[in-house]
Amino acid sequence: MKVKRARPMLKESSATLAHVSPTLLADFFDHLPEAVVVADAERRIRYANPAAEALFGYRGDEWIGRQTSMLYATPDDFAEQGQKRYNRFSRIGMQAYRIRYRCADGTVFLAHTSGGAMRDERDQLRGFIGLVRPAEAAEKTVDTLQRLHAITASTALDEAARIDEILTLGARHFGLDLAVQSRIRGEDFRVEHCLDPTHGINPGDSFPLSGTYCVHTLKAHEPIGFHHAGESEIRVHPCYREFGLEAYIGCPIQVDGEVHGTLNFSSLNPCRPFSRDDLIFMQLLADSVGHEIHQQMMRKQLSAQARTDELTGLSNRRAVMETLEWQVAHSQRSGLPLTVLLLDLDYFKRINDTWGHGAGDAVLRAFARLLMDVGREVDLCGRLGGEEFILMLPDTTAEGGRALGQRLREQLAGTTMAVAADQRITASLSGGLAALTDSDTVESLLKRADQALYAAKQSGRDRICEASS
């Protein structure tokens, strides 16, 4: 019955197969164990043998006349193959390669393909042909390992993007829909990265650890998997009762020798039983994610160090200027007020000269702590250098800035600071205040505050002076 259906389709494409009669070709292809797909010059499917129907899950009009793009795992794969071999200018004959395809039910699989352009005796393109054979499990693993290496070696992606790509790769490899990378602290299971086609789970979501399958993964201290929870003792687990996840494979993630969380893949549908190779590969994926998390933490730590004043722990000049650039632009767009206070400890050189630089450093650290105590959480406290500090006050008028500066002066005057084992001193400050205007830039705002600070020093110190607008 299928042979009779196939022959008319080949007659329609008889010009495509210039030197072989349609009848002979149909008889030959219909009995091949490999899937055969023939397309015209526009890459529209004109013939598929029974093996192709069984492999891809399509029948007759479901795919005849449609573009072969429907068979590729991604649009990018379709476009890439079009550029390489399936185009009007191609002079490539039959060529072997590996690529991923998508079945009618959405399943993605890796396959060997022998394909290329077909031309007649006048060298006119008549179409394309592909013979498709699913790859063996070992070949799939090698292909996935190559893709994993490409991800982890990519300089075009940052750590977060590489983790997302690893989740996508693992989900595709195991044929499971849901991928989650978690951070676990006590009973808190928090999603950091995830792949969920239904968008039911998102980064930042939190669940009780005991309500997830990962509680078993952590107890095992190694990769575990089950392919059909409903037919195992796992069916009594709260996760199965609430989410109905049938298949699961997961592994703890180690970062610097400590358990950070888990990497896991799951699905509402049962899958084939997991092999030992699957568990080994799961460990490799978790190790790769752990490495990316470690690199991310190191990068953030280095970035924080580069933006932090080593002595006081406040933001350094670089961080202050970056934040101030953004805050000035934001305030001018939104119309919200912004005030800055430049602060200078009075007669600081005397402290260094009298008690030494160690005592001076102790005074600077004490003053930094006072700044953080007086300022709000949204305020930026920074050290610009030496004894000069800055307070950036978002959503604060000049009046609010004056009130905070006065409060800071009073608290500093009432604070004693140790400069020697048996000696404590008090200090005073001078301050220059400037409120942002519509015409201000970062440079002009700081210049006006600096002029006000100079005025405070010239008029006797221990005071806050305000810049003119």
Q: How does 251-287 read in b/e, with b if 16+ C-beta sit within 10 Å?
A: bbbbbeeeebbbbbbbbeeebeebeeebbebbebbbe
- The predicted pLDDT at position 57 comes to 93
* 301 vs 407 pLDDT, higher one: 407
Q: Which residue blocks in 85-204 are alpha helix, DSSP H?
A: 137-152, 159-174
Cα distance between residue 436 and residue 446, in whole Å: 10
Distance CA 279, CA 352 (A): 63
Each residue of 164-201: pLDDT tens digit?
999 999 998 898 999 999 999 999 999 999 999 888 99
Q: What pTM was estimated for this model as a whole?
A: 0.59
pLDDT of residue 313: 92
Residue 391: pLDDT above 80?
yes
Write the pLDDT tens digit of every residue in 228-242.
999 988 889 999 988
What pLDDT score was predicted for residue 7? 38
Tell me if 453 sits within 8 A of 430, measured CB to CB.
yes
> What's the pLDDT tens digit per position in 320-358?
999 999 999 999 999 999 999 999 999 999 999 999 999
CA torsion angle 352 357 358 362 (round to 10): 60
Q: What pLDDT, on a 0 to 100 scale, did the predictor assign at position 25?
A: 60
Consecutive H or E run containing 249: strand 247-255
Domains, the chain, ranges and CATH? 2-135 (3.30.450.20), 140-305 (3.30.450.40), 317-466 (3.30.70.270)
Higher confidence at residue 92 or residue 454? 454
pLDDT digits (tens, 9 = 90+) for 55-89: 999 998 899 999 999 999 899 999 999 999 999 88
For the stretch 258-282, pLDDT in tens is 999 999 999 998 988 988 889 999 9
Is the pLDDT score of 450 beyond 90? yes
**In whole angstroms, what is the distance from residue 183 CA to residue 261 CA?**
4
User: What is the pLDDT confidence band of residue 141, given thresholds at 50, 70 and 90?
Assistant: confident
Buried b (16+ CB within 10 A) or exposed e, 306-317: ebbbeebebbbe
> Whole-angstrom Cα distance, residue 209 to residue 189?
5
Per-residue pLDDT tens for 406-426? 999 999 999 999 888 889 999
pLDDT digits (tens, 9 = 90+) for 331-340: 999 999 999 9
pLDDT of 37: 93
Burial class, 291, CB count within 10 angstroms (exposed 0-12 / middle 13-18 / buried 19+): middle
For the chain, the maximum distance between any two Cα atoms, rounded to a whole number of angstroms, is 107
For 180, the token pair is 């989650």
Predicted confidence band of residue 12 (pLDDT cuts 50, 70, 90): very low
- Say if CB 271 and CB 247 are below 8 A apart: yes
Is 76 exposed, middle or buried, given 0-12, 13-18 or 19+ CB atoms closer than 10 A? Answer: exposed
Return mean pLDDT, the chain. Answer: 89
Residue pair 131/38 in contact by the 8 Å Cβ criterion = no
Positive or negative CA dihedral for 86, 89, 95, 97?
negative
pLDDT at 17: 45
Q: From the DSSP assignment, how many helices (H) and strands (E) are in the chain?
A: 14, 18
Predicted confidence (pLDDT) at residue 10 exceeds the cutoff of 60: no
Nearest to 181 by CA among 251, 244, 237, 247: 251
